[in-house]
Amino acid sequence: MRFGNGVIADLRSGDGRTLTFTVPSEISGYGYQPIGLGSYNVSVTNALGQTSNAVPFTITSIGGNTGPISITSVNGPTNLYTGQTGTWAIYVNSPSNTQLTSSVRWGDENYYGYAAAVPQTTYSSNSVTFSHTYQNPGTYTVTFTVTNQNGQQNSSSVTVNVSYRTYY
C-alpha cells in the first residue's frame, strides 16, 4: 500500500475488498518519513500489479501524549547546597530517529517567575545535559521533557533537596 511518499508493505485483504492496518509512526520509501497529523494520499496495488486511485487519508490525532519517544534515565544530584551548581544528564531514545527538543523546568519558578533552561535539539539515543544553581533552600521537582517533530512528548521528573551549607 502506498501511504504518502512511502510504502506499508506486506498487507493482506481477507475478502479482496477491505484492508485493515495500523498507521505506523514512520514509513520507508523515498527516504525516511515520519507520520504525524495531516492528510496522506493512499492507494493499493493488488497481486496483479493493478493500482487503485489515490484517496486522502487524514490523521486527526495521535494516540496518547507519550508517543514513541522516551527518557530512559535521568542522572544527577538529589541533594545540593544553595549556590552549588548541579548537572543532570537525561538519556533520550526515539526509535524512529527523529529530531527531538529537550527542555527542563527547574521548579524554582516561585522565586524567579520562570526558571527553565534553553531547549536543546538532539537525535535519538543521545544524552543531553543541563546545569542549574539553586539560590534558595527547599525541595524542588525538576521536570525534563522531550518533544519530537510531530508534537509527541514524554517527561520525567526528579526531586532535588537544596539546603544551606553549615560551616563549623
Query: Is 64 part of a structural domain of the chain?
Result: no
DSSP codes joined into one string, 51-107:
BPPPEEEEE---STTTTT-EEEEEE--SEEETT-EEEEEEEEE-TT---EEEEEE-S
What is the residue-averaged pLDDT of the chain? Answer: 79
pLDDT at 96 (0 to 100): 61
Alpha-carbon distances, residue 165 vs 50, 92, 136 (angstroms): 76, 33, 11
Mean pLDDT value across residues 78-82: 95
Quick check: pTM over 0.75? no
Residue 115 corresponds to which cell in the numbers above? 526558571
pLDDT at 86 (0 to 100): 95
156 or 10, which is more confident: 156
Cα–Cα distance for residue pair 89/1, rounded to 1 Å: 42
pLDDT at 66 (0 to 100): 40
Are 83 and 143 part of one and the same domain?
Answer: yes
Query: Is 43 part of a structural domain of the chain?
Result: yes
Query: Is 168 part of a structural domain of the chain?
Result: no
Are 82 and 147 part of one and the same domain?
Answer: yes
95 or 7, which is more confident: 7
Are 52 and 124 part of one and the same domain?
Answer: no
Q: What is the pLDDT of residues 30-72, one digit of tens each?
A: 666 677 777 788 888 888 888 889 888 887 766 544 445 778 8
- Residue span of the structural domain in which 112 resides: 70-163
In percent, the amount of the chain with pLDDT more than 70 equals: 80
- Say which range, 27-36, 73-82, 92-101, has the weakest mean pLDDT: 27-36
pLDDT band at 79 (very low <50, low <70, confident <90, very high): very high
Alpha-carbon distances, residue 73 vs 53, 104, 145, 158 (angstroms): 47, 14, 12, 10
Are 153 and 95 part of one and the same domain?
Answer: yes
- Say which range, 8-17, 73-82, 107-116, has the weakest mean pLDDT: 107-116
Q: What is the pLDDT of residues 128-167, one digit of tens each?
A: 888 999 989 999 999 988 887 777 788 889 999 999 987 7
**What is the CATH number for 74?**
2.60.40.10
Are 102 and 153 part of one and the same domain?
Answer: yes
Mean pLDDT value across residues 76-105: 85
Query: Is 65 part of a structural domain of the chain?
Result: no
Number of domains making up the chain: 2
Residue 111 phi/psi, 5-degree rounding, is: -90, -35
Burial class (CB in 10 A: 0-12, 13-18, 19+), 155: middle
